Structure 1
Amino acid sequence: MDYDEEYDVDDRNIQDERLLSQGSYGTLNVPKTCVFVVGIMAGSGFLALPKSVDNTGWVGIILLALFCLLSFYTSTFLSRCWQMMLERGLLPPNGHIRYPYPAIGEAAFGKYGKYAVSVAINFTNFGTVVVYILLAAENIHTLLTDYTSMSTCILAVIVTGSVVPVTWFGTPKDFWGTALAATIATLTASLLVFSNILKDRQYFTDMAHTNVDVVSFFTAFGTMAFSYGGHCVFPTVMADMKRPKHFWKASLIGYIVLLVIYMPSSIASYLTYGQMISPNVLDTVSRGPMRTIAAILMTLHLYFGIIIIANPVCQEVENILGIENKFFTIKRAVCRTFVMGFALFVAESVPHFSSILALVGGSTITLLAYICPTIFFLKLAAAKPSNSERWDKM
């Protein structure tokens, strides 16, 4: 059954206007949502993709573009799933719910879909927080190498301790400014790193490249999937949008910006440094003011990214524990402090961000970003709405 045959476009628009007039939807508009799309994904990908391109050869450049296109396409499926659920009464009228992606899974495949998505999201977001903590600590260590012997382990503790109080707030609409700061920081850093790479080209000629094998290729595959895998957070952002049906517009702009950030530095690094590229490209470019400023900006991005990525995990833990969904409570602060503390424990136990990044990207992010959105949309589009399934009857 065709989606547009079941729901008339005019009826959907009338319903949207009614909910808007009642103030039922969230407050995020398209530009703010676009900021979240970029802020969620751009940090670790920008730093790790140059090495992934070297691990895959020239085909890696094509894969970067294909991953971008496919990831955008599947993000629109999530948006359409969300809209169908709103229209069928499978969500509260305002769309506000603590576990939006698992709710989509439940609407499509019942409890099994809900639990499968929940486990995958928690693993993904938690692994991403760990990666961000390690990357931020490494960047700070790079900046302070000439001034202190403080280890990355200690710096990871400092990073986590400083970010914990900010994680105590509620949902994306409560801290969208952090996403804006993260996006601006990454855009500026990408320009500086690209300029630094071009400056370094005069010192590197005829560089050898890594011999591509099965291990290096699929490790790079996981990194690329990770770099475009914001889907686990997208439904949380949709739930806070003023017009959720316009998410695709923010997603389109966001993915174009991501491609502009990723491509130039990845290609230039591949041509300039070859197999000398480090897992973190900032460790490869020559020292100087541009690298220093870029490292500071990327550390800020990672700092803000931790706040955004940790939020869905925290919300689901709070839902399990029955903690009230308010802007701030003591129980919420304690819960989120515990979650961040556990992330720090994992970061100290496995201090190699590239391994965690490839593992998460090649497993749960691939599931959440490229498989689930497609099958969930097909299932919901083919299902006949039933009044017994409505939110107010559940």
Structure 2
Amino acid sequence: MDVGGASDRVRLIDEIAEENANIQKKSHGGKVGGLTIFTAAIFIVGDMAGSGVLALPRAVVDSGWIGLVLIVVCAFISAYTGVVLGRCWVIIKDRFPEKYATDHVRYPYPAIGYEAAGIYTRYIITFCVNFTLFGVSTVFLLLAADNMQSLLNEANVNMSFCYWLPILAAILCPFTWFGTPKDFWPIAAGAFIATAIACVLLFIQIFIDYDPSTKVEHKSTDFTNFFLAFGTILFAFGGHAVFPTIQHDMKRPENFPRTVFLSYSVILTEYLPIAAAGYFIFGNQFFTQDTDNILSLLSDNGLTVAVTVLITCHLVCGFIIVINPFCQELEELFKIPLEFNWKRVVLRTIVCAFVLFVAETIPSFGAILSLIGGSTVTFLTFVFPSFFYIRLNRMRSPKEAWGGRKMQLYEYILHGEIIMVGVLGAIASTYSAIDSIATGASRFTVPCYVNVTAAHQ
């Protein structure tokens, strides 16, 4: 019996199997069994949809019927820049395989900024991403508290919105102590399903509340209200902060454009009918009842309660998912070990407390939506993807190991227009949001700890 030959054959088979595993691992962006097109789309929809669907009807009322056009236009531009951002990630993976092809990259968007424009741009992107994630967490907490008050009012439990904020923060805080969201895909799927069902029920309830005998009025818009609405619309399509992370975890990152197309098709299908129905059926009732949340205008019945519960489930799941990358960034900054330890508990508890403080100070999710949507979200969604794409395609290696793709003139014009619209829109929307908060023109601008009763009636 040729024991030595058999041993050599077994060793050869093992080497071939190991090599095949390495090839598969490289082709999957460093992860075997990564996200598919469908599962990646679930993460995008679960992250983006939810808060937007509640605020968009008020945004259309603030901006006028042109707001419906803005929703469609922003959806297409946002989807396009999402594809462009995905191309940027593929470019740097191809050019710097030793850094990005196989190793796990925790913050791919800042990595794109670094390779395209240097270390200071990386710092800027890091700030924008974390400011956005922190702001979204605050918005989710505010909306969840608002919904909890509405639900308990049905049971004749009258507790101020401002008291629900610390209660929910205390309940959610321990769930933020988990390490990373890589094992949390059921939470993303739950958020996706809850929002989809809620949108169908919400649309039905809006038409149930329609009264043909009541004349729907719409007031004319002005500069501040229009750009506040513009910021809210941008926020609703502002998922780019996490796009590269999702793409990095895909089995085939080059298929990310299909994921973007699928997810935006679902999101637009959810957003547009609700926004249009809210505008044409409720109109100025958003002003007379002083609310940013369309749930506040619905009749009190079982269907409305079901919608509120489903949206609240999405917000609770979303809070846990969105705040996690922000906490990980801080843990890396302070050199906190990856395994569970008391330092993580203390840091993430402090983060939750700070989110609570901001929510109590500016208890207006509409104002925060406009501020974030008009500032960091606009740059992450409209400005940086086009700018980085141009920079990466124009780069040349000193050793000519790689070269950029020659862009056509129409591409420069297209990306230049997107950047220009993004910068001008960001300036106008940010100014309008800050002015609205500072002058008290937005609902809930009185801090909860100053006057609880005035903060929410």
State the TM-score, normalized to the length of structure 2. Answer: 0.78
1:292 aligns with 2:305: yes
Whether the aligned pair in 1 keeps the contact of 2:206 and 2:281 (CA below 8 Å) is yes
Amino acid at match of 2:216: M
Identity of aligned residues (%): 41
Partner of 1:151: 160
Q: Distance in 2 between matches of 1:25 and 1:341?
A: 37
Partner of 1:167: 176
Partner of 1:254: 263
Pick closer, same or farther for the CA change 1:18–1:348 going to 2, 3 Å: closer
Amino acid at match of 2:122: K
User: Which structure is richer in relative contact order (CA contacts within 8 A, separation 6 or more)?
Assistant: 1
Whether the aligned pair in 2 keeps the contact of 1:67 and 1:224 (CA below 8 Å) is yes
Whether the aligned pair in 2 keeps the contact of 1:86 and 1:95 (CA below 8 Å) is no
| Cα distance, 1:239 vs structure 2 | 2.4
Instruction: Tell me which of 385, 390, 394 is aligned to 1:382.
Output: 394
Q: Distance in 2 between matches of 1:26 and 1:370?
A: 32
Whether the aligned pair in 1 keeps the contact of 2:29 and 2:251 (CA below 8 Å) is no
Pick closer, same or farther for the CA change 1:385–1:55 going to 2, 3 Å: same
1:372 aligns with 2:384: yes
What RMSD in Å do the two structures reach over aligned CA positions? 2.3
Whether the aligned pair in 2 keeps the contact of 1:233 and 1:312 (CA below 8 Å) is no
Q: Distance in 1 between matches of 2:33 and 2:134?
A: 26
Partner of 2:146: 138
1:128 aligns with 2:136: yes
| Consecutive unaligned residues in structure 1, runs of 5 or more | 1-14
- When structure 1 is superposed on structure 2, of 284-293 and 146-155 the one drifting more is 146-155
Partner of 1:8: none
1:52 aligns with 2:64: no
Instruction: Tell me which of 74, 80, 95 is aligned to 1:67.
Output: 74
Whether the aligned pair in 1 keeps the contact of 2:57 and 2:276 (CA below 8 Å) is yes
| Cα distance, 1:204 vs structure 2 | 5.8
Partner of 1:5: none
Amino acid at match of 1:349: T
TM-superposition CA deviations, 1:111-146 (whole Å, max 9, x none) = 111011111112111111111100000001001014
Whether the aligned pair in 1 keeps the contact of 2:32 and 2:251 (CA below 8 Å) is yes
Q: How does 1:4-19 map to 2 (within 5 A)?
A: 17=24, 19=26
Partner of 2:207: 198
| Consecutive unaligned residues in structure 2, runs of 5 or more | 1-21, 403-457
Pick closer, same or farther for the CA change 1:204–1:286 going to 2, 3 Å: farther
Whether the aligned pair in 2 keeps the contact of 1:164 and 1:340 (CA below 8 Å) is yes
Partner of 2:424: none
Amino acid at match of 2:366: S
Q: Helix, strand or coil: the match of 1:201?
A: coil
Whether the aligned pair in 2 keeps the contact of 1:126 and 1:310 (CA below 8 Å) is yes
Q: Flag as ranges the 4+ runs of structure 1 deviating above 6 A.
A: 387-390
Give the number of aligned pairs: 376
State the TM-score, normalized to the length of structure 1. Answer: 0.90
Larger Rg: 2
1:321 aligns with 2:334: yes
TM-superposition CA deviations, 1:57-96 (whole Å, max 9, x none) = 1111111000110111011111111111211226343252
Partner of 2:355: 343
Q: Distance in 1 between matches of 2:219 and 2:373?
A: 21
| Cα distance, 1:389 vs structure 2 | 11
Whether the aligned pair in 2 keeps the contact of 1:210 and 1:275 (CA below 8 Å) is yes
Partner of 1:9: none
